[in-house]
Structure 1
Amino acid sequence: MVRNEARRTALLDAAVDVLAEEGARGLTYRAIDVRAGVPAGTASNYFANRDELMVEVMARVHVRLMPSDESVAASLDLPRDRELTVKFMHDIIRRADADKACYLAMMELRLEATRRPEIRDALTRTIAENIEANVAFNEESALPGDRMTVVSLYFAMTGLIYERLTLPDVVAAMDLDELVEVLVDRAIGPD
């Protein structure tokens, strides 16, 4: 059977939304079909089993959260300094705010990974590869900081985003700009 890639993407996007809204227990083929507005049984034609579906959802989440090539290129036209690192951190927050469903779906996938070794293995590989890609980008772009800077900022930003999504009142009274500045300062030092 020839697969329609546009439909596959629509099904994965529907799965992201279902995960974000209903959690992993609500992620069924029927729920995906309903959310995508396709005939019943469509999702099961595209994804052989739940593990395959979750691994593909994870890959789709990462595609949706990636900055555009144009955005990165425009940023790299700026001086390669602390301020550019701050800008990149704010860009991450903006993308998280613009696509909250992706981060919530990723949280659900991480929770599911604690119970399912297949998901844990795939998610571990994906996250480790993304961290390595970020380290390589930082080095190739001659941005300030070393490997541990990138790793520290990754974990700090992940925690900040998850806190903002799950318990927004905890950080609501804080100045987000100041918090990002402090995170960057602690990772690479002030100007």
Structure 2
Amino acid sequence: MSDRELLLLDAAIGVLAHGGIRRLTHRAVDARAGVPTGSTSNRFRTREALLTGVLGRLLERETALWTGPAVRTGAGGIDGFAVRLGSVVEALGSTDRELTLARHAVFAEAARQPALRTALQAARRRLAAWLAPLLADLGSHDPAGDLRRLLALVDGLLAGQLVDPEDDFTPAPAIAALLHGLIDPRSASHRAGG
């Protein structure tokens, strides 16, 4: 992807974050990016092409956060992992809030557009391929199921933070509580039975 396309897609993320899906137009992206009128439509001919490009860029930026060096199981077990993952969720609710707002707008649109939905499902599979083994390393006996529950919690925490922002947003305790509830009892019963 060219630097110009990245500029336009990041501007489109800003438009979505601040104005919602209805405000996403080629002209609005041009204005936000500070480029001549018509620049966005030259690169992304249709609104669908623009939305597909935005989704790809959102996923690229979010994946960089999720898979960065901060989120590894490493030392600290469940609690250490929850702190590291919590820092990513905290960023998505504060410093990277634009990404989350734009993602929610695109997710709502994906419910109506099969092509976007397919792209989101593929991205979720890539995230699962990376994150489920980390949950298995923590002791999960159902990494895929536990991942679904973890992502549901993360989505809920972020939705709450978007609607009613807390100055001291700290998602790590909720993440740790969920993971302890999912993994610890299973690990204990597995050890007792094995």
Instruction: Give ranges in structure 1 of 5+ residues lacking alignment.
Output: none
Q: Aligned to 2:181, which of 174, 177, 186?
A: 186
**Amino-acid identity (%):** 27
Q: Aligned to 2:129, which of 132, 138, 144?
A: 132
2:158 pairs with 1:158: no
* CA drift at 1:90: 1.0
Q: How does 1:106-121 map to 2 (within 5 A)?
A: 106-121=103-118
Instruction: Give ranges in structure 2 of 5+ residues lacking alignment.
Output: 188-194
Give the total of aligned pairs: 183
2:58 pairs with 1:61: yes
2:81 pairs with 1:92: no
Match of 2:16 in 1: 19
* CA drift at 1:156: 0.9
Deviations along 1:43-102, one digit per CA (max 9) or x if unpaired, are 011112111211111111122223469952x66483261123212321222330221111
Shifted more, 119-128 versus 18-27: the winner is 119-128
Structure 1 residues 176 and 90: CA distance shift in structure 2, 3 A: closer
For 2:26 and 2:144, locate their aligned partners in 1 and report how far apart those are by CA, in whole Å. Answer: 41
| TM-score where L is the length of structure 2 | 0.80
For 2:171 and 2:123, locate their aligned partners in 1 and report how far apart those are by CA, in whole Å. Answer: 28
Query: Which amino acid in 2 is paired with 1:189?
Result: D
| TM-score where L is the length of structure 1 | 0.81
Where has structure 1 moved over 6 Å in runs of 4 or more?
172-175
Are the aligned partners of 1:144 and 1:188 in contact in 2 as well (CA < 8 Å)?
A: yes
SS in 1 for 2:146: helix
